[in-house]
Amino acid sequence: MEIRVVATRPFTDQKPGTSGLRKQVSHFRKPHYLENFVQSIFISQQGLRGGEMILGGDGRFFNREAVQVILRMAIANEIRKVTVGLGGILSTPAASHLIRTRGAAGGIVLSASHNPGGPTGDFGIKFNVANGGPAPESVTGAIHAASLELDHYRIARAPHVDIDHVGRQHVGEMEVEVVDPVHDYADLMESLFDFPAMRALLQSKSFSMRFDAMHAVTGPYAQAILEQRLGAPAGTVMRKEPLADFGGRHPDPNLTHARELGELMYGRDAPDFGAASDGDGDRNMILGSGFFVSPSDSLAVMAANAHLIPAYQAGLKGVARSMPTSQAVDAVAEALGIPCYETPTGWKFFGNLLDDGRITLCGEESFGTSSDHVREKDGLWAVLFWLNLIAARGQSVATIVREHWQRFGRHYYTRHDYEEIETDRAEELMTRLRAALSEMPGRSFGSLRVRAADDFSYRDPVDDSVSTGQGLRMLFEDGARIVFRLSGTGTLGATLRVYLERHETRPDQLDEDSQAALAPLIEIAESVADIRNLTGKEAPDVIT
């Protein structure tokens, strides 16, 4: 088979972010752009040569074309075997599971997660290492360095590879195995949870649920598990067909983008349980009848009730959360006498803790939770955890959460997103804030007094690596917090995220509206950062 060596020049914008490289589809379709980044992976990750690689994505526009390009490049770069999901489809947690169970050298995941799809939408590519998790900074740094020195890429002149039928084939010297993207993952879920109890719950006439797959990757997974293995009524899974443009919507599981589910759960005769997942299946939203569960509370409730779930009955080794995530799980960890780790944003930071056996559960406020069963966040796993918990406790979602608040107090929490800000303006805002940090301690804002202010840094307790510049924090004497970060997951301009939190323990003050309860902190954040003037926005674009 002929191997072409194609001359190219480096692109200067191929530095992976917290979740790989994300750009608009039109950017990825520029001549040599995708090929350059893939070649940078193959050059910097020599362990792939002669090994097995997992390949798949969320099915968004350009997914199938990218799979064919990567297969031809894999042949040219002497990859022994590529295992690809049927039709080029694999959810992110399912890809992680396949990497781990097959002992693969790594995997390429094609997704821009919750970002919009379609010809004018976004595309993404990331490399997962041999533990199944996202590449750590040392690996993404090596990929980026290779991309800046690239002068050629290698690609085979190969026929179109059939990825639409399960089975094995050889393309040149390389084996391609096309696998059912759902089966192994569904088996894993059945090994973790009490499926008989969940089956009884879902088949009961007194219980109903809806799962919004958002026309994204989890449609087939949710149908196979919820409707087929667990016997939920047909129609339980909404928007189940994966579409290349996600039906023209953001596949982001929040009340803004999953509005049909939200209207259903807050309407008359609402189902007992509602949930949604995102583009690539790694995020989740949990709802009860007329009740929204914040991702931070969800992680804390899971930790407090893990002993009720078969896979976690022996107890938790520890828990971890990203720094901007609320401290609700910290209170549970303290009560359980287990460690709680605070990491930077980005799932890759949990990998070392999981591999070292320090933690069992982990989560981020951005609708991501998971455990040591894979090395990615896992949206459908979280939904099944909640279903198992409801079956075990025999209580509603609202009752479970409110009882949790009565025991541990409520961490009122919200995130305000200001999207598509001019990059220069966003960076000016952060620069001004960073310069003012040293003057913050001791400053009072009404009844709130700043105890400390810093730019969060993290030293990994496993490998001693250090990550700096992870978010600006204002910490108040009463335990309240304000955190400012620029997000690395968007493709247009910059997104400013403002996180606000305060802890309430008075039993009669646990049912306030979050925005009302946090109003003083919201006002401080807007004033200190001069958000309206510097962003040109009168209000956040998204509030979660």
Active-site annotation, residues: 113
Hey, what are 427's tokens?
């960076």
Q: Are 4 and 154 spatial neighbours (Cβ–Cβ below 8 Å)?
A: yes
**Residue 212 burial (10 A CB sphere; 0-12, 13-18, 19+):** buried
Q: Are 109 and 56 spatial neighbours (Cβ–Cβ below 8 Å)?
A: yes
CA 292 to each of CA 84, 159, 196, 403, 513: distance values in angstroms, whole numbers, following the listed order? 36, 50, 27, 15, 11
The per-type count for the chain, helices as H runs and strands as E runs, is 18, 27
CB atoms within 10 A of CB 4: 12
Give 24's strand partners: 122
Question: Residues 369, 407, 503, 390: is their CA dihedral positive or negative?
Answer: positive
Q: Are 16 and 143 spatial neighbours (Cβ–Cβ below 8 Å)?
A: yes
Report helix, strand or coil for 41: helix
Q: Are 110 and 64 spatial neighbours (Cβ–Cβ below 8 Å)?
A: no
Q: Are 373 and 310 spatial neighbours (Cβ–Cβ below 8 Å)?
A: no
Q: Are 308 and 314 spatial neighbours (Cβ–Cβ below 8 Å)?
A: no
Report helix, strand or coil for 153: strand
Report helix, strand or coil for 319: strand
Hey, what are 16's tokens?
């992976």
Q: Are 125 and 14 spatial neighbours (Cβ–Cβ below 8 Å)?
A: no
Q: Which residue type, as a one-letter code, is found at position 475?
A: L
DSSP result, 59-105: --TTHHHHHHHHHHHHHHTTBSEEEEEEEEE--HHHHHHHHHHHT-S
Q: Which stretches of 129-176 are DSSP H helices?
A: 137-149
Give 171's strand partners: 174
Hey, what are 311's tokens?
């896979």
Q: Which residue type, as a one-letter code, is found at position 449?
A: R
CA pair distance 481, 474, nearest whole angstrom: 6
Residue 266 DSSP one-character state: T
Terminal Cα-to-Cα distance of the chain (whole angstroms): 53
CA 227 to each of CA 31, 138, 222, 432, 448: distance values in angstroms, whole numbers, following the listed order? 43, 42, 7, 53, 50
- CB under 8 Å to 240, separation ≥6 — which residues? 213, 215, 219, 220, 222, 223
Q: Which residue type, as a one-letter code, is found at position 196?
A: P
CA pair distance 349, 204, nearest whole angstrom: 41
